[in-house]
Amino acid sequence: MKFKAIDKMWQYVIFTYLLLWFMILCFGGIATFVFNASPLAMRFVTTLCSWAPTIVLLATLNKLRSGSTIKSFYKKAFKERLNFRIFLVATMLIVGIFLVSTWLLSLFDKTTISAQLNFIVTALGLNILLTAIQGASGEESGVRGYLLPEMETRYGFLKGNLILGLVWAFWHLPLWFILTDYSGMHLLLYIISFIVSITAFSTIIGVFMKKCNNLLLAFCMHFMFNFVLTFFVGNAVYLLTLLALLYTAAAVIYVALYLKRNDHSLGQLTE
């Protein structure tokens, strides 16, 4: 029996999965069981592991895109001028969804919004640095720089972005079991909410990048998504559930507006 060769794009996904999971299990395991690392140290380990997509991309770029160099790749990724209005709308959307989710959670818990948040001024600088060099810097070259245009070329806008969102979500699979203490129904709810929220958020980024195809926009949106979460100290499972619902609603609205304004049929964008 002959097996069809795996597409280069999917080879990249597989290699990134393997490297990411290996780094998490290896470095995370050593830090936890050998050095009994502190939460701050574990955050540095997580930051290091988050660079797996970029490491694999840079190591295999010439194979993925024949003749392409690192310089030409990033020159193209940052070529289009950053649209400040688009950036502002994206920031307001992300912060707004987070605050509305926190407010709703405070109503359910019969507490104040301030009780769900913890803002430490002295730790702000380190928090910004770690958030910036973690997921946003480490992942976006591979996720939106390489995979997004490849997915859209193969599967169309909507289907491509949904598949990309799922790929991006499942890159975090080891973290669901290593960095959380959830079990049973709480763990199941956490995983489902994580997948839904990340897939919806990824689709929203895809829509925004149609208006401003600059990798810096994806970086900023990813950074802001992670950054606002660092201030939350309440029940993460329920917050993530609310985020999943609100981001899904926002994704449906933005995709519908994109389809309408660009006069595309659903079939044209999904086939």
Q: Give the residue, 4 or 78, on which the prediction is more confident.
A: 78
Task: Give me 104's structure tokens.
Answer: 């709703």
Q: What is the pLDDT of residues 65-77, one digit of tens each?
A: 988 899 999 999 9
Mean pLDDT for the chain overall:
88
| pTM assigned to the model | 0.90
Distance in angstroms (rounded) separating the CA atoms of residues 127 and 164: 28
User: Does residue 160 carry a pLDDT above 70?
Assistant: yes
3 state SS for 22-86: HHHHHHHHHHHHHCCCCHHHHHHHHHHHCCHHHHHHHHHHHHHCCCCCHHHHHHHHCCCCCCHHH
User: Does residue 1 carry a pLDDT above 50?
Assistant: no
Task: Give me 61's structure tokens.
Answer: 């770029």
Q: What is the pLDDT of residues 5-62, one digit of tens each?
A: 679 999 999 999 999 888 888 887 777 666 677 776 777 788 888 899 999 999 999 9
Q: What percent of the chain has pLDDT over 70?
A: 92
Mean pLDDT of 156-166: 95
